[in-house]
Copies of this chain bind each other. A is one copy, B any other.
């Protein structure tokens, strides 16, 4: 039975959740920030997710999908679909690893060129984020991510 509308919330749950929910806030910031990078990178036809995968692969030189997933806390199926697109565009290639279950991924020349083209656009997005969030806030958000990223890297060796 529907309640009468226009009644500002009789339940405790919505008050407590709306005032404290980390998920709502993290996701809100994520949407806002992502939008800035998507807009900046659109001229290259590169998405934020794709850029991040390309960047990490470039830094690793060569890496298995599993390793990238571990560092970025990405589900393997998600990475799989993103790699499809990056490989279709010729930005990333693979070669069979010694273990025939896995492939080793690396960035092509075209991929490296695309990253170079992306750099100035990415810098613009970084500035916009600092303007939108305030520099201090942006830096503190970055610090949180740094910690998780470091955890992702360390998971490679120290298998807790």
Contact = CB atoms under 8 A, between A and B. Distances in A.
A25 B74 CA distance: 13
Interface residues of A, number: 80
Given A22-B141, A31-B73, A141-B141, A3 B52 contact: no
A100 interface: no
Given A22-B142, A133-B148, 15 more contacts: A1-B109, A3-B106, A3-B108, A6-B106, A11-B58, A14-B58, A17-B115, A22-B33, A22-B141, A25-B141, A25-B142, A27-B30, A27-B34, A27-B49, A28-B152
Interface of A: 1-3, 5-18, 20-34, 36-37, 48-49, 51-52, 54-56, 58-62, 72-74, 93, 95, 104, 106-109, 112, 115-116, 118-119, 122, 125-126, 129, 133-134, 137-138, 140-149, 152
